[in-house]
Amino acid sequence: MLLTILLSGMMMAGLFLMLLGGVGFIQDKRFFSSAPKETYNVVPDTKPERFPGQHAVGWILIALSFALMGCALVIGGWDGLRNGFTFRQFFGRFVIMLLGLKAFDIGFFDWFLLCNAGLNFFPHFYPETKAVLGHYLFGYNWKTHLTHIVAGFPLSALLAWICTLF
């Protein structure tokens, strides 16, 4: 169980690196496609690089984020194989990891960073967003979150099934 929680933390760190790479370094409006329309409308299409190689750093962070999240899934599967996990145990591990990631997305990204302007994250990189961020935005994408939560169960079952094939 401890390893499952640590792997969930790896996935959360990967998701944060993805946000940091896209919003903080690449700074392209396409990374705001899931943001509230009020926020999306005030973000400029692109921003000039603050230092040479800024965009490359962003793409490296995004690649690292995918590697971190992928490694968490592989380690979770490998450890389960090594310990003789059943389908149910694999399924439980992957559900905990994916639902933990979604809880982090909702609680940290949406509630703290977006709705409460926590740490001044978005306004630091995009000062024009300060006026449109607020508590009223929480829940703007509840349908997407619900879809991801529901999709997490069959995805966990698929991952568990794949692991039991080995």
Whole-structure pTM value: 0.87
Task: List pLDDT tens digits, range 101-140.
Answer: 999 998 888 788 877 766 688 788 888 877 777 777 777 7
Whether residue 127 contacts residue 66, with contact meaning beta carbons closer than 8 Å, is answered with no
* pLDDT tens-digit map of 17-71: 999 999 889 988 888 877 778 878 888 888 888 899 999 999 999 999 999 999 9
